[in-house]
Amino acid sequence: MDADADLYRAWCGGDRRAGERLIDRHLSAIARFFANKCVAAADVEDLVATTFERCAKSLGRLERPDRFRSYLFGIAANVLRDAIRKRRPTPMDDLERLCVHDLGPSPSVVAAERAEQRLLLAGLRAIPIEHQLVLELGVFEQMSRAEVAEVLELPEGTVASRLRRAHTLLEQQIRRLAASPQLVHSTLHGLADWAAQIRQHLDRS
């Protein structure tokens, strides 16, 4: 027994070890989700803990255990929004304009090795958070548009249009932040590879 659905059902039935195994399966992914959206490394640990606490408190509410991953990321997205409101009280609509950089001009807590990786992370932090969410879920977590729509509770068409806009905004920020045209070119043309390397680095850390 190792599938999410089986582990979730067992956890709901009182098997704490199944719950621990389920959490372990997704711990690195949820940490990765928060890594480039926080001002300080300590915030990542707090938000990860809050996400799994909320998941435990809502145990049994998930009607489709086979969609546990999307359900968990949905909790994480709401935890992130709540944390942003505490740091900077703002209406929900403002999250479509507010970016992580607006919360504090600190660099990403991710220790990227290559200039292209650092530029990609900085560019993501400079686009509106709601666009960053769509892009990172697709790029780093390799979710389909349907999965992203489920996580963010949006129509799939909205996700598609937001994703197109996110790519445009990211390219603009990369061009603005880059130290040279060569760095812009190597970053944009190797975007998927740089994202995969960042994911691997985060999984090792």
Q: Give the per-residue pLDDT at 108.
A: 61
Q: Give the per-residue pLDDT at 107.
A: 57
Q: Give the per-residue pLDDT at 106.
A: 60
Structural domains in the chain, sorted by start: 4-204 (1.20.140.160)
Q: Give the per-residue pLDDT at 105.
A: 59
Regions of the chain with pLDDT less than 70: 1-2, 39, 89-95, 104-109, 205
Q: Give the per-residue pLDDT at 203.
A: 77
What does the pLDDT look like over 35-94, one tens digit per residue? 888 867 788 999 999 999 999 999 999 999 999 999 999 999 999 999 988 877 666 566
Q: Give the per-residue pLDDT at 60.
A: 92
Cβ–Cβ contacts within 10 Å for residue 10, how many? 18
Name residue 185's amino acid: H
DSSP string over 61-117: --S-GGGHHHHHHHHHHHHHHHHHHHHS---GGGGGT-BHHHH--PPPSS--SSHHH
Which DSSP state fits 128?
B
> Rounded to whole angstroms, how far apart are CA atoms 130 and 93?
10
Q: Give the per-residue pLDDT at 116.
A: 94
Query: pTM for the full model?
Result: 0.90
Q: Give the per-residue pLDDT at 20.
A: 96
